[in-house]
A and B are shown apart, each in its own frame.
Chain A
Amino acid sequence: MSSVEPPLIASPGFMGSLRKYLRIFRVSLVERLAYRADFLLGTVLRFLPLVTSVLLWSAVYRGSGNDTIEGYTCRQVIAYLLLVHVSRMFSSMPGLASGIARDIREGTVKRYLVQPLDLQAHLLAYRAAHKFAYIVTSALPYGLLFWLMGGYFDWPREPWIWAAWLASLILGFFLGFLMEFVLGLLGFWFLEISSFLYLVNTVSFFLSGHLMPLDLFGGRMAMVLKELPFQYLAYFPATVILGRETPGAVMNGLLVEIAWCLVFLVVGRVALRLGLRRFSAFGG
């Protein structure tokens, strides 16, 4: 990698930078694929609790005597619970914030001051590679699962829904990354943030709609939850592909999601600059 860096320093330019981060992407991809068996097992294990969810919701609907709850049929809730796994596949960033905080605490973050690398861009390329590898390798088990549980799905015919789903998933990746990145930068100001991160993750698990469709909370609560950025990490993409939203609402959702991305991008850039200034003041 170092062999390509000197010319890049000489003339970074946009294309040069892009090539640099693409290379980081490739190296990270190879690294990730070294543990194929590990994540196949992990994916399969994650499916089994789905079985209990399916059973629970079937029992809830049988008990209620209604076909729909807050506009969801039982099949739709179950389909939703499967689809949020796909959303989280894109948007979850395990270890990103804690990794940044560790780099700050241990001082290794100083290499971004020395090398012609941007912390955020480097991590983004790295994460993108890991996500790419993860998604490609889980395509098989997930495909199998969706095929097995095909009875719960009414896949939409409209191509625009599929396109919007893909867009919402990719934006979900960026939003998840940008939000976690900001959290990680808290490490510049606080020594130990791991329990705090754990807390945020737990809350986000709930706020993002991983537990159940946000609409089921009903009334004002559902309304508030749908104003928060967390919903784009799980809920929004799932409702898009379920075909529950009108084209206008989907378009609106995507635009708001982009706006949230920009907000967290700006916050992240500012915090990074402030943090690095603070960091270099203390580093020796």
Chain B
Amino acid sequence: MTGGGKDIGGRRGLGSYFRLLGAFGRFSLNRELAFRGNFLMKVLLEVVWLGILLLFFHTIFRNTSRIEGWNEYQYLFFLGCYYALEGLIETLFLENCVEFGELVRTGNLDFFLLKPIDEQFLVSFRHIDWSTAPKVVIGGALMGVGLWELGEPVTAGRIAGFVVALLSGMALAYSFLLILASTAIWMVRNQSLMELWWLFSSLMRYPRDIYEEPWAVMIQKVFTFLLPALLVVSVPAEAMVRVLDSAILAWTVFAGLMMLGVSRWVFRRAIRSYRSASS
């Protein structure tokens, strides 16, 4: 069943994937705007969260000038980067991956497997959660303010490093989510997915330099090389406002590509062992 779907999907050009993505986006936006009050409430919630985050940040820097070498505006850039990246993940993938477990449980996954398009694409991008999209804009604005206040010239090399690292970071986070979602096929009920994702994102929240303490070095190593959660936000932010270190950049890109491959492999394994819910 999956093989057939793949073959037909394989013959489609990249263009049709983009067209489909556009259609998903439009459809989700329409659905979202049908419940405008709820939509506004969700956006308000994000703004409140941001307020708390900024207050936390402000309070800390009222009492210190540096956190492991990050000064206030470098850290503000980091915060914006974290916020934007989390927004991207939530807008594009999070809801889809959480719903995947439900598709498995109800057997509705059948309909997805029959569609003449790559299953992973369909499962990953089906809903665009527009209510978290403002986070990307706000995160971008925070990064802008940080850069402005730092006042250092932004070179093309830094921008390139930032973009590449950001894409790799997204790939890492997406892969992790997809692997977690795939486990739903074997476990049917995966309520811990959100908790594990929360754990993963809590590792992204602060610069990786804070793990320099002797007792935490092991944690730093594990989450840099084995399960590279620490790279997701730190490396793009470092590339832009701190040191542009090509070694860690290369590793981040490599890890991102590798995790994409691994997550695709896990997803396909999972689909292959999927038995529908009817019998």
Question: Of residues A45, A195, A196, A218, which shows the largest number of chain B Cβ atoms within 10 Å of its Cβ?
Answer: A195
Are A211 and B56 in contact (CB-based, < 8 A)?
yes
Are B205 and A52 in contact (CB-based, < 8 A)?
yes
Residue A239 lies at the interface, judged by CB distance under 8 Å to chain B: no
Are B63 and A64 in contact (CB-based, < 8 A)?
yes
Residue B149 lies at the interface, judged by CB distance under 8 Å to chain A: no
Are A202 and B52 in contact (CB-based, < 8 A)?
yes
- Fill in one digit per residue for B154-179: 1 if any A CB lies within 8 Å of its CB, else 0: 00000000000000000000000000
A49 to B204, CA, bound (A): 11
Question: Of residues A41, A48, A52, A212, which shows the largest number of chain B Cβ atoms within 10 Å of its Cβ?
Answer: A52
Number of residues from B at the complex interface, CB < 8 A: 34
- Fill in one digit per residue for B56-70: 1 if any A CB lies within 8 Å of its CB, else 0: 100110111111100
A94 → chain B closest CB, angstroms:
13
Q: Decide if the interface of chain A is mainly helix, strand, loop or mixed.
A: helix
Q: Which residues of B contact A217 (CB under 8 A)?
A: 55, 59
Q: Which residues of A contact B63 (CB under 8 A)?
A: 60, 64, 66, 69-70, 216
The size class of the interface chain A forms with chain B is: 20 to 34
The answer to whether residues A63 and B64 also contact, given A55-B213, A203-B48 and a CB cut-off of 8 A, is yes
Are A52 and B206 in contact (CB-based, < 8 A)?
yes
By beta carbon, the residue of chain B nearest A50 is B202
Residue A58 lies at the interface, judged by CB distance under 8 Å to chain B: yes
Q: Which residues of B contact A211 (CB under 8 A)?
A: 52, 56
Are B59 and A199 in contact (CB-based, < 8 A)?
no
Are B41 and A60 in contact (CB-based, < 8 A)?
no
Are A52 and B202 in contact (CB-based, < 8 A)?
yes
The answer to whether residues A55 and B38 also contact, given A42-B195, A60-B63, A199-B48 and a CB cut-off of 8 A, is no
B49 → chain A closest CB, angstroms:
6
Are A202 and B64 in contact (CB-based, < 8 A)?
no
> Using a CB–CB distance below 8 Å, which chain A residues touch chain B?
41-42, 45, 48-49, 51-52, 55-56, 58-66, 69-70, 192, 195-196, 198-199, 202-203, 205-206, 211-212, 216-218
Closest A-B pairs by Cβ, 10 of them: A64-B64, A195-B41, A63-B64, A63-B66, A49-B202, A55-B210, A59-B210, A69-B63, A59-B68, A206-B52
